[in-house]
Structure formats: structure tokens, C-alpha cells
Amino acid sequence: MTVRPIRIYGDPVLRTECDPVTAFDKELRDLVADLEDSVRVAGRAGVAAPQIGVSVRAFSFNVAGQVGHMINPVLSNLEGEQEDDEACLSLPGLGFLTKRAMSVTAHGFDQHGEPLVIEGTGFLARALQHETDHLAGRLYIDTLTGDVRRQALRELRRVSPSPQGR
């Protein structure tokens, strides 16, 4: 079991758009195993490859006891709206009300290159959107607006006085 350390806000890999996966080989299967091991830690709902320092379009999720992964995800059918507290392993100790679509369909591939479609509602939809954002170099705080965004940025400066990538 390889639980990889999580990269923290300020690490440039978190703000870099990830490369698509082109080789479905042993190296990718090892990465997926590490992602899935890393997401099985209690309290984790998702881990994206850049969060463990690998800039490729892959993530794992752990929602309602279902552990899985997706390679090269593309989201569609974003419908409805939900607003709930959201947090991120790369921004420890912070959490803010964040708007997301209530339902989403994620299209991508499994670790063997087989097509994969995941339809998510509620918390699974939130996790799929959050992890896919990581692959584009976006963090959930980037989606915040108004007073919540101002509060988040103040808190971020308080806990990380000189972050890179802002």
C-alpha cells in the first residue's frame, strides 16, 4: 500500500494544467494504485494526480464506500445546483460554501484504456467536479464569489502568508 504525500497550496503542480494520459501501461496502473491507496485514508473523498505531484489527467474518488478512478475525464450534463461546504486536502483546515452542479456525467477511461462513464448526483457529483478541476490547475476556492471568496482569500493568506501560484 502506497499512500503518497499530498501537495499543499503553493506547490506549482497544483496550478498547472495536466497532460492527457496517452499510455495505458504499467506506470499508469501503478499511479492509479497509489491514487486509490491515497484516497482510502479516512476522511478523503478524492485525490487527483497533481495532488501527489504527477501532472497527468487522472484522479481517484472514495464516495459512500465506492472507490474508483478516472483517466482523462470530461464532464457533461451538469444540471441543477447544490451549495454545501467544500474542502480540499491541498488547502488543509479550510472549508467554504461552494456552488456545484447537482448532477453530472463524467466520461473517461479506466486504467486499462476501457471507456468509463460515471453519473453522479449530490456528493459524488461534487467530488467529480472538484477532482476534474484539479486536472485543469483549478482549486475549489477559484469557484467562489463575493463575500465567501473574500473570506477564503483572507483565510488563505492567514494560514499561508506567501503562497506561490496566486
Active site residues: 131
| Residue 107 annotated as binding site | no
Instruction: List phi, psi (to 5°) of 110.
Output: -90, 180
Residue type for position 92: P
Residue 130 labeled ligand binder: yes
Question: Rounded CA gap, 90 and 5, in Å?
Answer: 10
Q: Is 88 annotated as a binding residue?
A: yes
**Could you say which DSSP state residue 161 is in?**
S
Whether 103 contacts 120, CB under 8 Å: yes
d(C-alpha 31, C-alpha 153), whole Å:
32
Which residues contribute to the annotated binding site for Fe cation? 88, 130, 134
